[in-house]
Amino acid sequence: MTKAREPDDLRPEGPPPSATPATPSEPHQTASAVFAESMAGAARKAGFSAASDGEAINGRALLGAMGGVRGLFEAILPGLVFLVTYSLTINPAQTTTITSLLPALIAPLVLGVMFVILRAATRQTVTPAVGGLVGTGISVALALFSGEASGFFIVGLWTNFGYGAALLISAVIGWPLIGLAVGFLMGDGTAWRKDASKRRVLTILTLCWAGLFVARLLVQLPLYLADNIEVLATVKLLMGIPLYAPLLVISWLMVRTVYRKADAASAV
């Protein structure tokens, strides 16, 4: 926020300042800067930093984009622990009760707490682990509230629906979200919309990411409605990192290619 100027009668003696008064456009510029940084931050969080930094496309870069080995464990283990604990403690021949669900629900929650403590003990940022813990906590609460193990997957289903719908709508109206995020990350702002190649590639990428979330929803929702918990938990794991990682690499390659071509064309 711009610091308020002192009234002229309180200033030291001398000629009046040459600066002009604040114009109504300054708040708009500030809001634009905040929006630009938030979109660039979203692109970094999604793993697009390697595309802007010129980093080589390799396993190490991909692992770093997903939060490293620890990030992978934090993303995969809660769901895997739920699946294993549920399979070992639930008897299909008996009616499932809240008491019988407790081991499968408590195990990933305890694991999430351990991730937070481990990050704090090693003086690393705890934000990713806290975010995962909050998500797990909400999932556990929904399962306990509904009395059904399927409640554990409600958050994931709504997340897939929300992201898929937002990405799809943004592409249809001509403002693809991947384009906005990558554009600000690459220092291009919204200028990419005037470049046919960039606009086409970033729209295609937005549709690809929308397709990922829609595919997850289309596969997992019937399993949720059928209350097929073990298959649902397995499918959710298989449609997580194994699909996210290759799509991220494809996105890196497409973004780099279109921006390099644009830079080469502008240099001629």
The more confidently predicted of residues 180 and 42 is: 180
Q: Where are the alpha helices (DSSP H) in 54-195?
A: 59-65, 68-89, 98-121, 127-146, 154-172, 177-185
Phi/psi region, residue 117 (left: phi>0; alpha: psi -120 to 50; beta: rest), is alpha
In this predicted model, what pLDDT tens digit does every residue of 190-203 receive, in sequence order? 899 999 999 999 99
> Does the pTM exceed 0.75?
yes
Q: What percent of the chain has pLDDT over 70?
A: 79
In this predicted model, what pLDDT tens digit does every residue of 52-109 receive, in sequence order? 655 566 667 777 777 788 888 889 999 999 999 999 998 777 777 788 899 999 999 9
Domains of the chain, residue spans: 55-147, 150-260
Would you call 167 helix, strand, or coil by DSSP?
Answer: helix
